[in-house]
Structure 1
Amino acid sequence: MRSSVPKKLGEQDILVIEGIHCLNPKLTRQLNDENKFKIYISALTQLNVDEHNRIPTTDGRLIRRLVRDAKTRGASATQTIGMWQSVRRGEEKNIFPFQEEADVMFNSSLIYELAVLKQYVEPLLFGVDKSAPEYAEAKRLLKFFDYFVGIGSESVPTNSLLREFIGGGCFQI
């Protein structure tokens, strides 16, 4: 429950600030640097389609976002793809410049996630109207998923990071 009453940290207290903008020094400028431990979490896909073609990290993030936005915000694939370039500009300006400031980095990509996400994202992408400007991107992503055999999500643990996107997790978001 949120409160408008200011809180003061005790000598032994720890403050955890979560979110993609948390490495931005503007957010934590009132905290002494020696009291910060900064963690950067990013999905850095390590798979390749073949020996010469890697899977862009950006594609993995877009696919995650398509599934999550549909589940949590009721957004269509057309809406999510339509705002993706704006999201990317925001990343370039407000997130990526600060990733090197992190004390540690954590790769949240899972080797099996695209095979699981396939069952969630394909119906969303098939829903993009052929006359929409976002159709070309939807078609490209659908073609990309031809490389994957889908697997069910029933074996994905409830405490898996993947559950943030597909639902059924044990954590409240």
Structure 2
Amino acid sequence: LVRDYQFRGAHAVKTLHQWPVVRAGEEKYIFPYQEEADVMFNSALIYELGILKRYARPLLEHVTPDVPEYTMAQYLLSFFQYADDVTDEDDVPNNSILREFIGKSVFFK
């Protein structure tokens, strides 16, 4: 959601609308083969949601009740209550995978 907006100009409704197709692709092309990978690692960061919600919340708040994606937007907004706000993203290293979503990555110009 955040990356789609930041780097592709896609609004939340479009991204939420495409999620079922993306998930179906994961179920078909990724998950059945994940155990065959040479290496697997969990790239989740403890502060990731606290930073991402700062970007995602305004995008989700613009989803209006007249579209089918509104329910999912509200669900995601309610989920953010479980994450502390992280306001100082300068502490996120410029080589962190999180930078792929929020910008200022050394890997993308």
Output the TM-score relative to the length of structure 2. Answer: 0.94
Alpha-carbon deviation of 1:96? 1.0
Query: Considering only CA atoms, is the larger Rg found in Structure 1 or Structure 2?
Result: 1
Alpha-carbon deviation of 1:120? 0.4
Matched, 1:101 2:22: no
1:161 is matched with which residue? 97
The CA distance in 1 between the partners of 2:44 and 2:84, in whole Å, is: 18
Matches for 1:100-119 after TM superposition, within 5 Å: 100-119=35-54
Matched, 1:74 2:12: no
Matches for 1:81-160 after TM superposition, within 5 Å: 81-152=16-87, 153-160=89-96
Give the structure, 1 or 2, with the largest relative contact order (CA under 8 Å, sep 6 or more).
Answer: 2
Q: Give the residue type in structure 2 aligned to 1:163.
A: R
Q: Give the residue type in structure 2 aligned to 1:145.
A: F
The CA distance in 1 between the partners of 2:100 and 2:41, in whole Å, is: 16
**Which of structure 1's runs of 4+ aligned residues deviate more than 2 A?**
none
Secondary structure, aligned partner of 1:125: helix
Q: Larger % of strand: which? A: 1
Matches for 1:45-64 after TM superposition, within 5 Å: none
Secondary structure, aligned partner of 2:100: helix
Output the TM-score relative to the length of structure 1. Answer: 0.60
CA RMSD of superposed structures (Å): 1.1
Amino-acid identity (%): 56
Paired residues, what number?
Answer: 108
Q: Larger % of helix: which? A: 2
